[in-house]
C-alpha cells in the first residue's frame, strides 16, 4: 500500500509540473532556474518539458493505480537520467550545478526504486 501511495504522490507531483508548463511556462521555467525562451526556442522548451513531466507523471500514476511495478520504470528512467545528465553537464561542459534539483531527482528516483521492490514483494 505504501508503494502505491508514494508512487501516486510522485506521479501527482510530476503531473502538477506538467500543468504548470501548460498554464504558466514562465513560472515553470523559473522554477528550474531558467528563463522562458522566445520564438522557436520556447516551442521546444515548453513542448519538451511538458512532455517530460506528463510522461513521468502518467506512468507513475498508472503504476500506483494498477500496483504494477513495471509502469514505474519509465518514470525512474526519465527522472534518474535527468540527474545523471545534469551531473554530466557539470563535469563535461562546465555548467553550473543545480544541486537542489539533482538531489531532488536522485531522491525521487530512489523512492520509486523502493516502490518497485515493495510492489514486487507483494505480487
pLDDT, one tens digit per residue, over 40-94 is 999 999 999 999 999 999 999 999 999 999 999 999 999 999 999 999 999 999 9
The answer to whether the beta carbons of residues 77 and 63 sit under 8 Å apart is no
Please give the model's pTM, rounded to 2 decimal places. 0.93
- For cell 502518467, name the residue: 58
**Domain map of the chain by residue range?**
2-122
Q: Which residues contact 93 (CB under 8 A, 6 or more apart)?
A: none
Q: Which residues contact 53 (CB under 8 A, 6 or more apart)?
A: 14, 15, 17, 18, 21
Q: Closest Cα to residue 45, out of 28, 58, 62?
A: 28
The mean of the pLDDT values for the chain is: 97
Query: E-assigned strands of the chain?
Result: none
Number of Cα atoms under 13 Å in the Cβ half of residue 18: 15
Quick one: pLDDT band at residue 123, thresholds 50, 70, 90? confident
Distance (Å, rounded) from C-alpha 115 to C-alpha 109? 10
Q: Could you tell me the CA-to-CA distances from 96 to 19, 67, 90 in Å, in that order?
A: 27, 38, 6
Amino acid at each position: 500500500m505504501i508503494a502505491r501511495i508514494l508512487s501516486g504522490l510522485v506521479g501527482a507531483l510530476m503531473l502538477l509540473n506538467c500543468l504548470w508548463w501548460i498554464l504558466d511556462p514562465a513560472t515553470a521555467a523559473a522554477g528550474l532556474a531558467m528563463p522562458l525562451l522566445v520564438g522557436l526556442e520556447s516551442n521546444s522548451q515548453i513542448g519538451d518539458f511538458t512532455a517530460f513531466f506528463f510522461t513521468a507523471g502518467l506512468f507513475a500514476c498508472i503504476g500506483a493505480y494498477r500496483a504494477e511495478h513495471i509502469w514505474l520504470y519509465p518514470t525512474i528512467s526519465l527522472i534518474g537520467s535527468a540527474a545523471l545528465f545534469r551531473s554530466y553537464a557539470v563535469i563535461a561542459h562546465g555548467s553550473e550545478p543545480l544541486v537542489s534539483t539533482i538531489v531532488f531527482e536522485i531522491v525521487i528516483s530512489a523512492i520509486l526504486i523502493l516502490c518497485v521492490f515493495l510492489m514486487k514483494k507483494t505480487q
